[in-house]
Structure 1
């Protein structure tokens, strides 16, 4: 005759098998995070923070602020009367050659992702 074993305490009981849904959710979550990081790197964090160069079109107005070696360019309404207001006369793509704007216009070389371009600018008189 055998003697029944003593009941097991909760610490001694075998662990229940882990649910597979939790592991799948963690894996999918990790992939989503990796995609978000990849997009942030590809697009560039300046785009997310609003510090990206502006690829303005001819006829638009921009303000140019900041130091000469790192200017900040924002598009604005041409009638805004803001200081440092310039009208984009033309945009020259695929170059950093500011001399292509000529001597009568100011020029600002910019890069947005792999696009490089020069904004040829004419100062708008303050009102």
Structure 2
């Protein structure tokens, strides 16, 4: 199996919290990026998590790992071990920890039974469209 496919397979097994942690640890400091603001915006626009954020995070992490890991891998286990080694050398910044706390608060609010998503009239019209 090719390195790109192995990395994609590895990333597909991550839950949303793990993916965000990978994204923060491996891809920090990219231009035009404010992940903390993006996460804060989820309270207003929760659909972004499913419609764009997860895909973007996966692409960013895939790109980083593909470039960083120069060797080819014989098995998924070898790749997993190498990624674990890379992650063990990284640390969260204070801003990363704030971002993680905001994200955990967002996830908790989405699981609460007393939170209702309010859609704009445009969003309701789009939902009614049949393709």
Q: TM-score, normalised by structure 2?
A: 0.18
Of Structure 1 and Structure 2, the greater strand share is in 1
Q: Give the number of the structure whose residues are more often helix, by fraction.
A: 2
Larger radius of gyration between Structure 1 and Structure 2:
1
